Amino acid sequence: MSISNLLKPEVIAVIGASDRPGFSRSTCKNLLYTEDPRRVYFINPKKDELYGKKCYNSLSELPESPDLVILCVNAGLVPQMLREAAAVGCRSSVVYASGYAETGSDEGKKLEKELVDLCDELDMLLMGPNCAGYINFIDNVYAFGLEVDKAERTGRVGLISQSGQVGLNAVDMEHMDYSYIISAGNSSVVSMEEYFDYLVDDPDTAVVSLYLEGVKRPKDFVKVLEKAAKKKKPVVILKTGRSEKGSQIASSHTGSLSGADKVFDAMFRKYGVIRVSDMEELLSISQMFSILDKLPEGPNLCVMCLSGGETAISADFGEEVGLHYPVFSPETLEKIKGLLPSYSTPNNPLDTTATLAHDPEGYANLIKTVMGDPQINMVVCGFTPHPTLDNDVTMHIAQGLVKSKENNGAKPVMMMPFMECSRAPEIRNLLRDAGIPILPTSTYGFKLIKHLADFVTYHCMEKESACGPSDESLTGKPLKYLSEFESKKKLAEWGIPSAESRLVNTQEELKTAVEELGFPLVAKICSADILHKTDIGGVRLGIRDMAGAEAAFTEILKSAAKHCPDADIEGVLFQKMVDKGLEIIIGVKNDPQLGPAVMCGLGGVFVELFKDVALCPAPISRKEATDMVLSLQSAKLITGYRGSAPLDLEALVDVIVKVGEMAKDQKNSLVEMDINPLFVYEDGVCAVDAVLAYAE
């Protein structure tokens, strides 16, 4: 059954309708805003009427069968009411009641499972429990448990919130316009992912915004992210849970640097999701996307300000967030000079001076001139609008902005104030109707523009589809670590090169190994139980003769026996000592919710110190792998820095791609991987050390 039956009802019944303060009273008052309140029915056997509407004793007395029932009753009465609703043909419900799985108690979890089972039996859609309901602004359905004022707020922002209060605060923002606000609650029957999917497909919703605390159905969630990316529909997410506190830290470097939230971050980047830090950013960027009548064709912008001070601020903030101000073409510069006073010095950002502040036509012509430059994709007009309309400058600037859009070939235009002020509704509406959003002040405003620039340059086809989590949960299963020798054998199966080595257990084997490998050599203890070999004196470098090899063999085994007497020792690994290259780490972290992600970064002893790493869900395209490497702060060490020769980027990318394929292929067993370090040379790469961990 489509959830449009839940979100677009024509006939609604409130069970437990009341005039006492609380969700019930708020719902009853909100529903009076419905397009046809005659098709809203109140059920309360103890009341004759509420708010001028007749009250009925039960659903069976209603003159027509409801499409939606809203249950304003405690959890104990919910099952009975759902059965009565199903008996009259209703298949959609909103349940506000709490006391379910959100309590964390066994009893609450049991109640929620029983509720899910009952809805399955009745073929009943259910929003909640423990939710605040929803508002469908397109069809004027206010099935919401927190009292709101009716306003002409129909817009194109679809907001899903796992917090009722966040939803209420969103409604209270008078400058915001929505298609839907959905307070999903526990989402135990109709999932948050299903609402998300609905809004991605909804033609009335231009941008989908989520306040997200967690994901219950990660495979479905990732599928919707991919669908939105392919549709090029903006998705903006405010996700809590950035802290690693309380999470289990894995023993590998990759595990400690790629916690659950960082994997979410990587998944969001893979699918072009805009992740924000707070509600102001969430709502502001959502409104920006919903108002723009077209998206820019590229990331380059011009900022135009009435004063030199604001122009300088724009230059600083733009550079800080990574925006690009292209130089005007000679033709554009000549035209701008003809429109501005002789004392002006046209640059980008552009100080227009205040000359055109009272000339809407001239201001519009200047914007059009800037738009005409082929290097410019969007224009931001820096101006702080005054809250009253008796200020000529505010109206003239607004009129100039609107006039600049009269040409069908006009590029996107936005207004950005430099100080917070109230927004005169007339100005806001005038610009909104012309497809011109008013951004927040510069700290937020430039972040929003950078998000927009990143979004329009994102290309879904350059990405591989994430493989998702293991088919069966690996959480809680014991880990089996492979020794370095066994780990490198696994890597070799995927064509990942490593230093030639031999496993030695006897003096005779040592002699053979030395003859085959030659000098110089490295010797290391080989045991799945000893992951940090250096810490127990289990490594010897620069062995250049047989006597040194014999001494290393004896001393390493003795040290291992002393420090790790219970360890299972496979032997001593003698390895050809390779030339030192740039040390890179490549790893895998198999996240229980989102599946395996591949990490690369500056490796060796610096990995935990600098934490210069990039993460991407597996599998990974060559473009993704290249972008990962180039995103590192240390990328110049690979591409060439201060006269040093560039290293073999293609060979490094090849390893990252192969590790991604390996992680995908073994997602049902591989939990962690570290290749650290992988030496990168001017020609080729070599894995020097590695450890893999599988679920038993």
Q: Decide if 285 is inside a domain.
A: no
Q: Which of 113, 110, 370, 167 is nearest to 282 (CA)?
A: 167
Q: How many other β-carbons are positioned within 10 Å of the β-carbon of residue 56?
A: 19
pLDDT in tens, 509-534: 999 999 999 999 999 999 999 988 99
pLDDT in tens, 83-103: 999 999 999 999 999 999 988
Q: Decide if 646 is inside a domain.
A: yes
Q: Is the domain of 306 the same as that of 436? A: yes
pLDDT confidence of residue 423 = 66
What is the average per-residue pLDDT within 196-215?
95
What is the average per-residue pLDDT within 483-490?
95
Lowest mean pLDDT among 136-140, 166-170, 587-591: 166-170
| DSSP string over 601-613 | EE-GGGHHHH--E
Strand segments (E) across 505-576: 521-526, 539-543, 571-576
Q: Is the pLDDT of residue 248 over 70?
A: no
CATH code: domain of residue 605: 3.30.470.20
* Helix 164-172 vs helix 279-291: crossing angle, to nearest 10: 50
Angle, CA 544 vertex, CA 538 and CA 547 arms, to 5°: 75
Q: Decide if 248 is inside a domain.
A: no
Choosing from 576, 601, 621, the residue where a domain stops is 576
481 DSSP β-pair partners: 693
What is the average per-residue pLDDT within 393-406?
90
Q: Is the domain of 551 the same as that of 641? A: no
What is the average per-residue pLDDT within 37-45?
92
Q: Is the pLDDT of residue 249 over 60?
A: no
CATH code: domain of residue 236: 3.40.50.720
Q: Decide if 463 is inside a domain.
A: no
Q: Is the domain of 362 the same as that of 318? A: yes
Q: Is the domain of 74 the same as that of 181? A: yes
CATH code: domain of residue 379: 3.40.50.261
What is the average per-residue pLDDT within 687-693?
95
Give the chain's largest Cα–Cα span: 102
pLDDT in tens, 415-469: 999 887 766 778 888 999 999 999 999 999 999 999 999 999 999 988 999 999 9
pLDDT confidence of residue 252 = 45
Choosing from 240, 272, 301, the residue where a domain stops is 240
pLDDT confidence of residue 235 = 98
Q: Is the domain of 542 the same as that of 645? A: no
Kindly report the three-state secondary structure assignment for every residue of 570-594. CEEEEEECCCCCEEEEEEEEEECCC
Q: Decide if 260 is inside a domain.
A: no
pLDDT-based confidence at residue 250 (cuts at 50, 70, 90):
very low
Distance CA 573, CA 484 (A): 8
What is the average per-residue pLDDT within 688-692?
94
User: What proportion of the chain, given as a percentage, has pLDDT over 90?
Assistant: 80
Q: How many Cα atoms within 13 Å fall on the side-chain side of residue 396?
A: 14
Q: Which of 202, 196, 126, 192 is nearest to 163 (CA)?
A: 192
Q: Is the pLDDT of residue 312 over 90?
A: yes
Q: Is the pLDDT of residue 253 over 50?
A: no
Give CB contacts under 8 A, 24+ apart, made by 653-656. Answer: 653/622, 653/625, 653/626, 653/629, 655/496, 655/586, 655/685, 655/687, 656/586, 656/598, 656/600, 656/620, 656/625, 656/628, 656/629
Tally of domains in the chain: 4
Domain boundaries, position 438: 293-457
CATH code: domain of residue 527: 3.30.1490.20
Report CA torsion sign: 586, 221, 231, 458: negative
Q: Decide if 486 is inside a domain.
A: no
pLDDT confidence of residue 219 = 93
Q: Decide if 99 is inside a domain.
A: yes
pLDDT confidence of residue 245 = 43
What is the average per-residue pLDDT within 610-625?
95
Choosing from 538, 554, 576, the residue where a domain stops is 576
Q: Is the domain of 122 the same as that of 44? A: yes
Distance CA 640, CA 267 (A): 30
Q: Is the domain of 192 the same as that of 50? A: yes
Q: Is the domain of 572 the same as that of 593? A: no
Q: Is the domain of 357 the same as that of 211? A: no
Q: Is the domain of 69 the same as that of 171? A: yes
Contact 194, 3 (CB under 8 A): yes
584 DSSP β-pair partners: 602, 678
Q: Is the domain of 567 the same as that of 622? A: no
Contact 536, 559 (CB under 8 A): yes
Q: Decide if 115 is inside a domain.
A: yes
Q: Is the pLDDT of residue 246 over 60?
A: no
Contact 102, 186 (CB under 8 A): yes
What is the average per-residue pLDDT within 247-266?
60
Q: Cis peptide leading into 596, omega within 30 of 0?
A: no
pLDDT confidence of residue 434 = 93
Q: Is the domain of 195 the same as that of 123? A: yes
What is the average per-residue pLDDT within 140-146?
93
pLDDT-based confidence at residue 122 (cuts at 50, 70, 90):
very high
